[in-house]
A = this chain, B = another copy of it.
């Protein structure tokens, strides 16, 4: 089971009723945090997300509303007693940003493993059990979307094991994907395992214009968290100028990518009632949810 929490839903600047957009995904007690603007540490406390088991912080880009909370989060992680290294992933310039902000958090009891994504390439990373795909998107400065994929173990196939004359004593070791030498023979996991099973996929994109590459990137996600800075279609010119999306554009991506559910987030402080635009957005993609501080979902393996 993968737990997802949207720690905030605002964009641009923190306001009295919206924490800035960031996401926590949790799997078997370990966590990734995507983005941390000013106030994210408070949101993580309010929604009881915990700091000690955050194994990675991923930055989409370096506008202040996505990164200014880093010193506070690093200090909160330190305060939690963490000693294990922490991975931080982000665009080109990540080292400079971390070094700059750490002027007020110079001493940490854990090491940082800094993974700087240079240029406009796409990447894959693995942090603990989390498989992370990374897509270069279209914002005013270098920016990446992240997709977290949790693999599901293949199912044990008893008939196949018997057919392949695999001794019963080593079934459980093979099931754990080990190669096993036994009584002079080599046995491999594929001799006892069935076909691939669908994993869990959560995709997260903010800030960007809607680019076609996002459709493949978010394809079949169980959950697609996507910016919808503006609800009103009349803001299209502004969205193009500042490289953001309308609700409609995010919903079109969700539909094309055939995702299970769309959460809109990164609302402009000028948009008081995102609700006003929900019904027309649902005409494009029915399973659209408006982001809110602390919105949570548990996603389970199927079949």
Contact pattern, A 154-174, Cβ under 8 Å of B = 1, otherwise 0: 000000000000000000000
Number of interface residues of A (CB under 8 A): 30
Report the copy number of this chain in the oligomer.
2
Q: Are B64 and A104 in contact (CB under 8 A)?
A: yes
A79 to chain B minimum Cβ distance, whole angstroms, is 8
A2 at the interface (CB under 8 A from B): no
Q: Are B42 and A15 in contact (CB under 8 A)?
A: yes
Task: Report Cα–Cα, A292/B50, bound state, in Å.
Answer: 26
A64 contacts across to B, CB distance below 8 A:
71-72, 75, 104-105
SS of A interface (majority): helix
A239 contacts across to B, CB distance below 8 A:
none
Question: Which of A95-103, A185-193, A244-252, A256-264 contacts the other chain?
Answer: A95-103
A96 contacts across to B, CB distance below 8 A:
103
A14 to chain B minimum Cβ distance, whole angstroms, is 5
A39 contacts across to B, CB distance below 8 A:
14, 38-39, 42
Task: Report Cα–Cα, A41/B38, bound state, in Å.
Answer: 9
Contact pattern, A 1-40, Cβ under 8 Å of B = 1, otherwise 0: 0000000000001111000000000000000000000110
Q: Are A16 and B45 in contact (CB under 8 A)?
A: yes
Q: Are A13 and B72 in contact (CB under 8 A)?
A: yes
Q: Are A46 and B103 in contact (CB under 8 A)?
A: no
A7 to chain B minimum Cβ distance, whole angstroms, is 13
From B15, B41, B68, B75, contact of A71 by CB (8 A) = B68
A144 at the interface (CB under 8 A from B): no
A105 contacts across to B, CB distance below 8 A:
64
A297 at the interface (CB under 8 A from B): no
Task: Report Cα–Cα, A100/B106, bound state, in Å.
Answer: 11
Task: Report Cα–Cα, A69/B101, bound state, in Å.
Answer: 11
A76 at the interface (CB under 8 A from B): yes
From B15, B42, B72, contact of A45 by CB (8 A) = B15
A76 contacts across to B, CB distance below 8 A:
13
Task: Report Cα–Cα, A69/B79, bound state, in Å.
Answer: 19
Q: Are B38 and A16 in contact (CB under 8 A)?
A: no
Task: Report Cα–Cα, A24/B67, bound state, in Å.
Answer: 26
A18 to chain B minimum Cβ distance, whole angstroms, is 10
A62 at the interface (CB under 8 A from B): yes
Max count, chain B CB within 10 A of own CB: residue among A71, A79, A97, A102: A71
6 residue pairs bridging A and B, Cβ less than 8 Å apart:
A13-B72, A13-B79, A14-B41, A16-B42, A38-B41, A101-B101
Closest 6 CB pairs of A and B: A100-B103, A100-B100, A64-B104, A38-B72, A16-B46, A14-B42
